[in-house]
Structure 1
Amino acid sequence: MRTSVCRDGGGGAFRRTESVFLSRIQAGLKTTCPVAQGDKPLEIITTRQWYIRNGGRDEALRKDLIKRGHELAWHPEHMHVRYDNWVRGLNGDWLVSRQRYFGVPVPVWYRLDSEGAPDYAQPLAPDESLLPIDPQSDVPPGYDEDQRNQPSGFMGDPDIMDTWATSSLTPQIATGWEDDPDLFVRTFPMDMRPQAHEIIRTWLFSTVVRSHFEHGCVPWDNVVLSGWILYPDRKKMSKSKGNVITPMGLLESYGSDGVRYWAASGRLGTDTAFEEKQMKIGRRLAVKMMNASKFALGFGGDPNGVITEPLDTAMLAKLAALVDEATSSLEKFDYTRALERTEGFFWWFCDDYLELVKGRAYGEGDGASSARNALCIGLSTIQRLFAPFLPFVTEE
């Protein structure tokens, strides 16, 4: 296999793509079937392409990649079967070359014989220290530009890389592979890959393949898989169907916190229907948070003060249990459960507890101080629990 070069000279990230590409890809043949026009017959054309081994024709590699899937923690767990089925069902290698103009070019050249025919069996590969290169503008060592596409000269590989061939190195690029060795050692493998379920077979699998070859490990410890956003009629949103909803109007109507509340209400691995009603609830929750905070914190309680009243200690005990549950849920990437439990406690806090203690908080003495201190601690903790979901109002 090989690695890639950046056409715009984008430095180390694509140098890495090239070096991996040059060390991992093999040349092969691909059959393409152009679309026939009218009643003209289809013409079968064979063209040279580039591939990366992915276990489709190598049983030992297939078993290794299946094992890599078991090394990942899947959220939700049942999504693992999609990866497993995909790897087991492969019957060919990963085609990574494309015949387009824009993209990361394949960094090799070919010698031309005295009749101008390329020698595909012995491609000219640049030294890794020279990467990135573009074979359409750069010249291989030992040649000059006048020999390009001339008999006894050279030609550049005209192909570019498939999207997944380049994006499959995103963990390495983000963690400073080669550019920042200290950062890379501390952050790779990464902790989590968030993505949607339909690209398990593409982005996720291709990233695992690249990491397996280059580093001998999985690129992250956890995979967090979301579903699709569906139109209210439960059909997938699509530009071709004209049912895509842009977010700007929603942000203006319900605020960022309202939209985030709706998004966080969708469970992992489950498709979520677009629903403005949930955004209205999220906005109402944000407004209530602002008003409750102003009211409770207006008493000027001491977060380190003494709590003496049984009702106040009971509230704080219930809050401590919520913190433990929310923390456990977030550590499992179950953010929806953490939001549900926090929201339920918050409405109980406002509707019941706050109404019960506000009269005492207006008073004097130890009972009043206990209420004020408990309100201060309670609101501060609730704000932090809501912060991942309603960051703007909690920051205020």
Structure 2
Amino acid sequence: ISGFIVDPDRKKMSKSKGNVVTPADILKQHGSDAVRYWSASSRLGTDAAFDPQNPTQVKIGRRLAIKLLNAAKFVLSFPVPEGAEVTHALDASMLATLDAVVRDATAAFEAYDHARALEITESFFWTFCDDYLELVKERAYDQSDAGQASAALALRTALSTLVRLFAPVLSFASEEVWSWFEEGSVHTAAWPEPSGSEGDPAVLTAVSAALIGIRRAKTEAKASQKTPVTSLTVSGPHVEALRLAEGDLRAVGRIEEISFAEADSTTVTDIVFAPQED
């Protein structure tokens, strides 16, 4: 059973109090996907406060819908060769992580917990965009790289799955993206199922942490993220997992040489920037 939509003071909206807000202006300004996101973020049985002057969740929903459109355009720019297979450890790790997302989101929907399903999907989506997509884009671009087909196929597979997971909430953005690479409507497509990837989720976790550390090290050095690096050391758990994606880490960080060391937490040290030409 849904809760009430209440005003910013958490008072029930009513005409007699003069605090009723109709959705027309919000829909016009932010779009229906954004409003659906705000609504779907509210858990069953819980009252949801709405402030028309500061609709934070609505704005987040609009940002998410736009990000889905932009990420899809980027993913679809990488051609998937005929006969492509997922062979790279990082790609298999991402798909194995996504498999868990599909299982958990499906279980949440079956339990009528739409807010939890959205939360699970959205959390993975931002990791996918901010970390995985950045890590593999150089490999996905490079037609001469033996891992190009693996990256392109993994990206396309993930996009198909994510679009269907988001479809109940970001209905219009999902339908638009689906039309770019699939026939029919996403709303009549089969609900996604786990791909059965045998990858190790620890690879994506470890490499994402290393990427965050590399970004932080450059920021603390007041250097651009595009600044070339001669060498650095990544310390952390799962060193062997990091080695499996060393090429992607070097490409995204513009790093010539990476040294790895075992540690309890992930840190990036001994960073040496390449000499800059005048």
* TM surpasses 0.5: yes
Alignment correspondent of 1:394: 174
Alignment correspondent of 1:377: 157
Alignment correspondent of 2:63: 284
TM-score normalized with structure 1 length? 0.43
User: Which residues of structure 1 form unaligned runs of 5+?
Assistant: 1-224
Distance 1:302 1:281 in 2: 35
Quickly say closer, same or farther: Cα 1:303–1:289, change in 2 above 3 A.
farther
Quickly say closer, same or farther: Cα 1:304–1:241, change in 2 above 3 A.
farther
RMSD over equivalenced CA pairs, Å: 1.3
Name the aligned partner's letter for residue 264 of structure 1.
Answer: A
Distance 1:334 1:303 in 2: 39
Alignment correspondent of 1:80: none
Secondary structure of 1:305's counterpart equals coil
Match of 1:271 among 47, 65, 70: 47
- Of stretches 302-311 and 353-362 in structure 1, the one that deviates more from structure 2 is 302-311
Alignment correspondent of 1:249: 25
Deviations 1:360-389 (A, max 9, x none): 001024301111001000111011100001
Q: Is the 8 A contact 1:327 1:338 kept in 2?
A: yes
Q: Is the 8 A contact 1:300 1:376 kept in 2?
A: no
Alignment correspondent of 2:184: none
Secondary structure of 2:84's counterpart equals coil
Alignment correspondent of 1:226: 2
Distance 1:300 1:238 in 2: 54
Distance 2:45 2:26 in 1: 24
Identity in percent: 59
Distance 1:303 1:326 in 2: 31
Distance 2:151 2:123 in 1: 21
Offset, 1:305: 3.2
Offset, 1:233: 1.1
Alignment correspondent of 1:294: 73
Identify which of structures 1 and 2 has the higher relative contact order when contacts are C-alpha pairs closer than 8 Å and 6+ apart.
2
Secondary structure of 2:31's counterpart equals helix
Distance 2:43 2:35 in 1: 15
Distance 1:319 1:249 in 2: 36
Alignment correspondent of 1:260: 36
Q: Is the 8 A contact 1:230 1:271 kept in 2?
A: yes
Secondary structure of 1:321's counterpart equals helix
Alignment correspondent of 1:313: 92
Distance 2:172 2:127 in 1: 22
Distance 1:338 1:366 in 2: 36
Match of 1:335 among 97, 101, 114: 114
Secondary structure of 1:366's counterpart equals coil
Distance 1:368 1:252 in 2: 42
Offset, 1:236: 0.3
TM-score normalized with structure 2 length? 0.60
Distance 2:76 2:125 in 1: 15
Secondary structure of 1:298's counterpart equals coil
Secondary structure of 1:261's counterpart equals helix
Match of 2:147 among 367, 377, 380: 367
Q: Is the 8 A contact 1:302 1:376 kept in 2?
A: no
Distance 1:383 1:325 in 2: 16
Distance 2:43 2:98 in 1: 24
Q: Is the 8 A contact 1:230 1:236 kept in 2?
A: yes
Name the aligned partner's letter for residue 149 of structure 2.
Answer: S
- Structure with bigger helix share is 2
Counterparts of 1:1-396 in structure 2, within 5 Å, are: 225-275=1-51, 276-301=55-80, 305-364=84-143, 365-396=145-176
Runs of 4+ in 1 over 3 A off after TM superposition: 302-305
Quickly say closer, same or farther: Cα 1:321–1:247, change in 2 above 3 A.
same
Q: Is the 8 A contact 1:257 1:393 kept in 2?
A: yes
Offset, 1:302: 6.2
Q: Is the 8 A contact 1:303 1:373 kept in 2?
A: no
Quickly say closer, same or farther: Cα 1:304–1:329, change in 2 above 3 A.
farther
Distance 2:119 2:83 in 1: 28
Q: How many residues are paired up? A: 172
